[in-house]
Amino acid sequence: MIFDVYRRLYKIALEEFDDIVIKGEIIRLPSGAPLKLRLYLLDNSFVDVWISKNKYFYHWQKSSLIFRHDNAPHEKWKFVKTFPKHFHNGSEENVVESYISNDPEVAITEFLSFIKSKLEP
């Protein structure tokens, strides 16, 4: 089931963002179960997408910069208006509201659009 979601997200990434996404893979646990989707970008950075029932993260690692939408209910971020949804904007400690869609297919498009805008000169 989650494998199918990751496959659809991978297809969207390759078809709609072929100018920034080079390739990707579904990373599996030793049991063979899908763990997450990893997308490799043209600037040698990567995006990880992890989805599990009611939890998720969309994570972009670029050098020492971290951009991540997630909905882990960390007490530390309880002040954020969209809690438990929040966005790590450049670092683990710089956290703001997250308005990313709850629909994974829309969310991957939103997140990759954000990344594309950051990669453009």
Question: Tens digit of pLDDT for each residue in 19-58?
Answer: 999 999 999 999 999 999 999 999 999 999 999 988 999 9
For 103, the domain range is 2-116
Answer yes or no: is 81 within a domain. yes
Answer yes or no: is 74 within a domain. yes
Query: HSE-up of 67 (CA within 13 Å, CB side)?
Result: 15
Answer yes or no: is 22 within a domain. yes
CA distances (Å), origin 70, targets 23, 25, 40, 86, 96: 23, 21, 20, 6, 11
Distance CA 84, CA 72 (A): 6
Please check the confidence at residue 63 and state whether its pLDDT lies above 90: no
Answer yes or no: is 121 within a domain. no
Counting runs of H as helices and runs of E as strands, what totals does the chain give? 2, 7
CA 106 to chain centre: 11
Q: Count up the domains in the chain and report the number.
A: 1
